[in-house]
Structures are given as C-alpha cells and as structure tokens.
Amino acid sequence: MYAPIPPDPAAPSVRVNLYSDTQTRPTRAMRAAMLDAEVGDEQLSLDPTVNALCARVAVLLGKEAAMFLPSGAMCNSVAILTHCRPGDEIIAHETAHIIEAEGGAPWALAGARVLGLSGPRGMFTVDDLRSVLRSPSRYSAPQTLLAIEQTSNLGGGAVWALDTLHSLAAVARDHGMATHMDGARLMNAVVASGIKASDFTAGFDTVWIDFTKGLGAPLGAVLAGSADMIGRAWRWKQRLGGSLRQAGICAAGCLYALDHHVDRLAEDHANAKRLAEGLSRIPGLTVETPETNLVYADVAASGRDPAGWADALRAQGIMVSVMGRTRLRLCTHLDITRADIDETIMAFAAIRAIWL
C-alpha cells in the first residue's frame, strides 16, 4: 500500500512536501529547547527530560506509566511482544499499520498472526468484532489482542467515535483479550473532535503517541500503560535495542511539541479541507472528505495511474504518496502553508489540462 518515490537527481528540489506528516522538520525554537535539555542515562532512569516526558504523557493518556522509544513502529512491536505469545491471534482492521507498513513485525517478531477485519474508512463495528470471536479451543489460535489505530491512516485519517471505542474495548475485555491503541495521530483526533486523549484511551491497556508526525519532533514516541505492563515492556525494549542514553535531547523536542504544536494541528486540518475542496473540482479526481490532516485522491477516472501523477507533481517540486493502485495521499503538517495548498491545487489542474 505504501510506495516511496525514489529520488530523481534530475527532478527539482521539493518545495511542497505532502508525502507524509513525518516530513516535518524541528523548528528553530524546538532545536533550542533540545540544545538546552538536561540529560542523563535513560536506561537507568537518570535522564530528567525523558522522565518528565514520560510522566506527562502518562497523565495525558490516563495511564500509570510510560516509556520513551525511538519510533511508533517500535511502540507497536514492544506492546505486541508484551501482550502476545507465539501462536496468538491479534484482531485489527485489514488496513492497519501493523499489517501494511511494519514489515510483518507481529508475525516475524512475536510469532502472532493478525486477523484483519473489513469496514469503511479503516474501521469496523462491534458486530464485526463479535462475528470473528471464537470460544477457546485447543484447535484454534488464542485471540489475545485487539488493536485499534486512531486516527485510521489508510482510512483517510478518520476518527473513531468514542462510544465505538468503548464498546469494542468492552467486548474484547469480556472475551479475555487485551487492548492496544496505535495512537500515531491520536492528537489529531483530539483536536478534530474536542475529546480528551484520556477519554479515547480509557478502555485500552496500552497506547502510544508519535511526536514525529504533525507534532514536528525529529524522532520519538511514548508508549503508556499500567506500571506492571510498562515494567514488562522494558524487557522487550532492552531486547530490541531501544534503551537509550542521553535521550533527553530528543525528549525535549517532544515536550516542546506538547507545549506548542498540539492546538496548531487545527491549521493542518483546515489546510487539508481546503486542499480536498480544490482537488475535488478537478475532473478525473475523486477526493475523500478529510476529517483530519490526510487527503486521499482516487485518480482512476483520470486515465492515469497514481505513480504517473506523483511523477508529474514531483517534476514541479511537489511530493505526494502513492497508496495502492488508484490512490494518492497528501498529508498536511507543520511545514505546509496555505500558499503551498493553493500551489498544489494549481499544479494538479495544470497537469490535468496537459493530459487532456
């Protein structure tokens, strides 16, 4: 589903980078905060800035404890390895990040398979979940973990409804399953809905947030859960090489993001809506209405494949993602301005006119 565009030395430099919200760069003020960070040995819990970040995120997500990790994918792997044993089954949406974009990590690392449920916009219902639950049997894999992605990336950045999350978590709990939330863009959901992060995560045993997307930090994610859960997760963090040294330099960027870059996510959402409205007026493009900062455009009716569109845009200094056989993804973020949005719309229109 993900198709990175290889660098083309002949192409102009990227002026408008809509490839992903991971393309954000730390601001000068964030860099200053990182430069001034107090540091220590994170592995020994002696880094005061990492400790402050973990304590703050634990409160934000309504959990007892948290740990700092280099990436969100590692958060998913550490959580799955802590929850599951080889031969277990995880239930998630069929387009979930753990299925589509982590190199088969649940199977390769935990020996756990993932059962993907279908449903519009990267979501499924309580009835969908109930339909695949099995009575415990020695003949079938133990159903150990329910995994939810908030927001749903391949679902167009859609926000799971609070009551749906609560109901799904309750059904999973009644079935003896643990619950995990991939909260890569959880703060986008918070800003879009006005619902507190801790309300979204209340029914989940583990949850993480990513600081390298719309929050604009150069690296870092924080996994939260009960004190016992995080204590057990530390063994997997150690095994995977995720224990760090003077990581406060990076954690300071994350703390800065929490102070300065959360509310401004609303600007990204407004830019995404403007982009979607502009692209929807171009013949041959079918554009999904964005709820947050991800804009998906289906180009099947244009007579060109998404790679062709991406190449043509790249020639004009605009970078987007190819997502499957017919879709493009455009992500708004900290480094994208309203002028960038207007330039992108005009570039799409100009390319379409040339091809007619």
In angstroms, the CA 150 to CA 39 distance is 32
pLDDT band at 3 (very low <50, low <70, confident <90, very high): low
266 touches 295 (CB < 8 A): no
* Contacts of 238-242 spanning 24+ positions with Cβ under 8 A: 240/74, 240/77, 240/78, 242/69, 242/70, 242/74, 242/78
* pLDDT score at 2: 60
* pLDDT score at 9: 56
What's the predicted TM-score (pTM) here? Answer: 0.95
pLDDT tens digits, 95-119: 999 999 999 999 999 999 999 999 9
169 touches 203 (CB < 8 A): yes
Q: What phi and psi values does residue 334 have, to the nearest 5 degrees?
A: -55, -35
pLDDT tens digits, 133-158: 999 999 999 999 999 999 999 999 99
pLDDT tens digits, 10-59: 677 899 999 999 999 999 999 999 999 999 999 999 999 999 999 999 99
* pLDDT score at 243: 87
* pLDDT score at 10: 64
pLDDT tens digits, 166-175: 999 999 999 9
Q: Looking at the chain, how many residues does it have? A: 356
pLDDT tens digits, 176-228: 999 999 999 999 999 999 999 999 999 999 999 999 999 999 999 999 999 99
Task: Between 4 and 60, name the one with better pLDDT.
Answer: 60
CATH of domain 37-260: 3.40.640.10
Can you list the positions of beta strands (E) in 16-122?
16-17, 65-69, 89-93, 113-117
* pLDDT score at 257: 98
Q: Where in the chain is the domain with CATH 3.40.640.10?
A: 37-260
Q: Which residues contact 94 (CB under 8 A, 6 or more apart)?
A: 116, 117, 118
266 touches 290 (CB < 8 A): no
- Tell me the CA distances in angstroms from 35 to 9, 55, 256, 330, 333, one per residue in order: 33, 21, 12, 32, 24
Q: What is the mean pLDDT of residues 116-135?
A: 97
pLDDT tens digits, 255-294: 999 999 999 999 999 999 999 999 999 999 999 999 999 9
* pLDDT score at 322: 96
* pLDDT score at 153: 95
Q: Which residues contact 168 (CB under 8 A, 6 or more apart)?
A: 126, 129, 146, 148, 179, 203
Q: What is the mean pLDDT of residues 330-335?
A: 97
* pLDDT score at 5: 59
Q: Where in the chain is the domain with CATH 3.90.1150.10?
A: 2-25+264-355
* pLDDT score at 8: 65
* pLDDT score at 271: 98
Which of 7-16, 120-129, 237-246 is the least confident region? 7-16
pLDDT higher than threshold 70 for residue 91: yes
The CATH architecture of the domain made up of 2-25+264-355 is Alpha-Beta Complex (3.90)
pLDDT band at 355 (very low <50, low <70, confident <90, very high): confident
